[in-house]
Structure 1
């Protein structure tokens, strides 16, 4: 049986042609081999997100598009930051919201800032609309996915241009769609059923805001990463308005919360 110590004969600087060639080492199954090889192969991809935001919700109402999210930033499973804004106006009539890695969201907004500036330099009287930016983001996310270095976000983009309302979503691998109401993260399971039941096309601004607040309150009760400090953004033909953070009123004296297993079946 060959000793794993033979790995020590590997030169400190390997030729490029040998970086992915395994036949020059006799001890392929040794742990030392893989540990040594990893020292020569640079890995730059994002292995996992660190500081993340949970669900973002959006819906179309009679006057435009509403998008809402809480302001929590979780470090792993710990709610570390409670004043993280996860929505940004990227043009005069378009707003972007994101769940997932906060730093990747910041990188995406920097890309969009450069895109908007480059488009404005043409000075042709035509601004990028929500559909244009949505299409751009699908290419960016799919491109990064193909490099095995994805941006760890699910995005919601809403806007109004020439009287046409647009609400769409892009996943971290470039999957995209448009709909009248959208949720990301845990909101897909908890908020979307509420939207399907209560959303209607001619909703007023007040009705749409109440519906978003109701869905966010359910997420606050059921999603460990959610908090009750939220922001609601309103996108119309006239521009983008993002509210100041405010707290939803919650109720924890419900009997189910006090003693959730009182009527549960079991042998204990």
Structure 2
């Protein structure tokens, strides 16, 4: 019940939206009593997801690749989603997993890059520094039981040396000359390792050929992949995204895997 302003003139003049004497006041954004709707909720199952991310180090830089499909469960719903991002001329990232979480983290990184440029102190994100920051962010969210449902590949060049790192949703992180996530960990990474072992001084063209071959195999075998993908390359000349790329599949091989009919 409101108190007459004649008795308490300050109630309307100085604090018109404040609590009346002898009454409780509910601050904006809070409810009078806690209920089920106040409980903290977590994402148990990502909605729109992307599949494998591939990465390889070659003689003059690094190369990452990811297709452009966003799967709504088992439905190939969105066919033009970019899962690679250029942070600056020397650093790039690519992500698999929940696309909304990737957009969220990408927006944070972009704002941090803008803030860093505003300082104008000669320092920018290097692939190592972004990789280190991502390991802390992903592990922190995992420790809160609210992980970002992504697997990130971070690549680039710093002081003339290529760098490639992997970070997943529970904070597992490592660096390597070959990176893969999702189904690509089982099918594509053995191909990447084999190619790099046979040709340690791989050129950019040779690395692209290997990546294209891996993407073709994933298109054949991974039900969540698409025959449309992006490749981002980082060399001393900067970062370049090639999109969209595709390969012509040959489905005649299906007949080779069919079991002969019993007579």
Task: Report TM bin, short chain.
Answer: 0.7 to 0.9
Deviates more, 1:97-106 or 1:115-124: 115-124
1:102-113 aligned at under 5 Å gives the runs: 102-113=99-110
2:51 equivalent to 1:54:
yes
Query: What CA distance in whole angstroms lies between the structure 2 residues aligned with 1:95 and 1:133?
Result: 9
Per the alignment, residue 24 of structure 1 pairs with none
- The offset of 1:118, in angstroms, is 2.3
- Cα RMSD between the aligned structures? 1.9
Query: What CA distance in whole angstroms lies between the structure 2 residues aligned with 1:228 and 1:190?
Result: 16
Query: What CA distance in whole angstroms lies between the structure 2 residues aligned with 1:222 and 1:188?
Result: 13
Is the CA contact (8 Å cut-off) linking 1:97 and 1:157 kept in structure 2?
A: yes
Paired residues, number: 231
Per the alignment, residue 258 of structure 1 pairs with 255
SS at 1:159 equivalent: strand
Query: What CA distance in whole angstroms lies between the structure 2 residues aligned with 1:176 and 1:53?
Result: 20
Question: Is the alpha carbon distance of 1:236 and 1:259 closer, same or farther for their aligned partners in structure 2, counting shifts above 3 Å?
Answer: closer
Per the alignment, residue 22 of structure 1 pairs with none
- Structure index of larger Rg: 2
Q: TM-score, normalised by structure 1?
A: 0.81
Deviates more, 1:122-131 or 1:70-79: 122-131
- The offset of 1:113, in angstroms, is 1.1
Deviations 1:178-198 (A, max 9, x none): 000110000000001111211
- The offset of 1:201, in angstroms, is 2.4
Per the alignment, residue 243 of structure 2 pairs with 244
Query: What CA distance in whole angstroms lies between the structure 1 residues aligned with 2:236 and 2:43?
Result: 37
- The offset of 1:263, in angstroms, is 4.5
SS at 2:252 equivalent: coil
Deviations 1:59-89 (A, max 9, x none): 0011100001111110001111111110010
Query: What CA distance in whole angstroms lies between the structure 2 residues aligned with 1:263 and 1:205?
Result: 43
2:87 equivalent to 1:79:
no
Q: TM-score, normalised by structure 2?
A: 0.83
SS at 1:197 equivalent: helix
Unaligned runs of 5+ in 2: 1-30
Per the alignment, residue 208 of structure 1 pairs with 207
Deviations 1:142-189 (A, max 9, x none): 111111111100000100021011100100011100000110000000
Per the alignment, residue 97 of structure 2 pairs with 100
SS at 1:138 equivalent: helix
Query: What CA distance in whole angstroms lies between the structure 2 residues aligned with 1:157 and 1:40?
Result: 38
Is the CA contact (8 Å cut-off) linking 1:182 and 1:192 kept in structure 2?
A: yes
Per the alignment, residue 169 of structure 1 pairs with 166
Deviations 1:80-115 (A, max 9, x none): 111111001012211110000111101111111122
Unaligned runs of 5+ in 1: 1-12, 17-36
Question: Is the alpha carbon distance of 1:40 and 1:249 closer, same or farther for their aligned partners in structure 2, counting shifts above 3 Å?
Answer: closer
- The offset of 1:44, in angstroms, is 2.8
